[in-house]
Structure 1
């Protein structure tokens, strides 16, 4: 389970603020499920999940809805959404047995990564850079490469708009977001790593964001 920081944004009426927090859960099939929690759920239940995300907590949500956020289908909380942590039911007992016998002392996230890689198609960096392969929208790919250089290791973050997560613009008139076209936006810091990688004779520049970037920094 991964729980992002809560984001505050200005509502369309420009008179109040709302809150959003993204929660990524893993089910017993090692599939990820993304849920966007809004307002009180983002602040309260979302914070409770963040404080317990290092544990293999079992979470149940009810009265969610499916909608599109940033052009991707995701589950969203509603005014009637509720959350139960480690609910007392037969399904919880079944999941606990699965955690004990299948996961054990291993990291659930590592199991998910290993499964995801097995389901991806391996390609060469040369194929990607020279456009020798047609990438499908509904497929995931992976390639093996060596990190040659991390260009911004001393400052692996950028200042972003809390509403749309795009990089903000600082001028003599203040701070604005070119994407939201808003003035005096709230600023948050987000991880961003720029690097050069090499696969045999082919090199490429990659940009990694947020969890992927922070995980790599910890590994370094």
Structure 2
């Protein structure tokens, strides 16, 4: 069952992908663009812009990405299906860049403080009061009740399950996996195209355990901290 609601969002733009042109189910041309946002809770959100928002406001955000614009989203659709959250624009949605409101100034100030703290190597304020959990807490929680949140659990890494090739290649346009040994074609039906420049990304599968429990954990970009270098350098040195 898909649960759909609408919401207003105020957040900082952290990443903007290029716009993608495609043909809708009604055989009409349209555009989409994915942006990544962060709000004052520190949670990252992926938002999909469609139509004019993707080409107009989206182009401005892409051009000014280094300034990390504050944006206000109104009447955006939030869909939740089997625990996964999707945020996207609809016909009535609006997007305002750098709104002149007090909340936007507070968000900008928070973001600058967080950026400065990370530059100094200080732990993020998000982790100062987080709850410590155990493997059993995760395993015994129903999948339908799990929500995205920051936690800490301290266990021992016993095995890297895919140590021979802890990465994958993906399509920049839609984040779908691309098997470079089989085909250089993105297999997403909406955006099927040939990928000339394959982009690698960490995907490290580890086994962690304590005295009573064990669990498999998958690391994506966070694996760079564990391994100590960017994925491109790792692949080059491994070869």
TM-score, normalization by structure 2: 0.56
18, 21, 36: which one pairs with 2:34?
21
Kept in 2, the 8 Å contact 1:145–1:198? The answer is yes
Task: Measure how far apart 1:26 and its partner are.
Answer: 1.3
Structure 2 Cα separation of the partners of residues 195 and 33 of structure 1 = 23
Correspondence for 1:68: 79
Report if aligned partners of 1:123, 1:143 keep a CA contact under 8 Å in 2.
yes
Structure 2, gaps ≥5 residues long: 1-12, 231-239
For the 8 Å contact 1:194–1:205, the answer to whether it is kept is no
Structure 1 residues 70-107: Cα deviation after superposition (integer angstroms, max 9, x where no partner): 6644442234544333333343444455556x647224
Distance in 1 between residues matched to 2:64 and 2:34, nearest whole Å: 15
Task: Find the aligned partners of 1:50 and 1:92 in 2 and give their Cα distance.
Answer: 19
- 1:87 equivalenced with 2:93 (yes/no): no
What is the CA distance between 1:115 and its match in structure 2? 1.9
* CA distance in 2: counterparts of 1:78 and 1:51, whole angstroms: 23
**Aligned residues of 1:7 and 1:163 also touching (Cα < 8 A):** no
Structure 1 residue 122 corresponds to structure 2 residue 133? yes
Aligned length: 205
Q: For 1:175 and 1:99, locate their aligned partners in 2 and report how far apart those are by CA, in whole Å.
A: 38
What is the RMSD of the two structures over their aligned residues, measured on CA atoms? 4.7
Matched position secondary structure for 1:46: helix
